[in-house]
Amino acid sequence: MHLYLATGLTPVADYAGPAEDERLDLVRIPWQRAVAMAEEGLIDDAKSLVGLFWLDRLAARGDLPDEALEAGRS
């Protein structure tokens, strides 16, 4: 498993979409709210939990880019 923190992304018009056997729903949630949702048990997927808590730890140490911190406050 690989986790990435992507910032400064823009939508593209020619996105092919998910594979036939995938279901992806785009939901924009500030990362601080997503961490709170994980702590409340509202997010329970293991991969998502690892990513959110990793992100929260980076933020607490001051190791996140400014643009990621700003996105988390939206």
0.75 exceeded by pTM: no
In a domain, 12, yes or no: no
In a domain, 49, yes or no: yes
The pLDDT assigned to 46 comes to: 94
In a domain, 61, yes or no: yes
In a domain, 42, yes or no: yes
Segments forming the whole domain that contains residue 68: 31-72
The pLDDT assigned to 66 comes to: 76
Is the confidence at residue 72, as pLDDT, over 70? no
Quick one: how far is CA 54 from the chain centroid?
10
In a domain, 18, yes or no: no
Average pLDDT over residues 28-52: 91
The pLDDT assigned to 40 comes to: 97
In a domain, 23, yes or no: no
Is the confidence at residue 49, as pLDDT, over 90? yes
In a domain, 20, yes or no: no
In a domain, 36, yes or no: yes
Q: Domain count of the chain?
A: 1
Tokens of 45: 């997927």
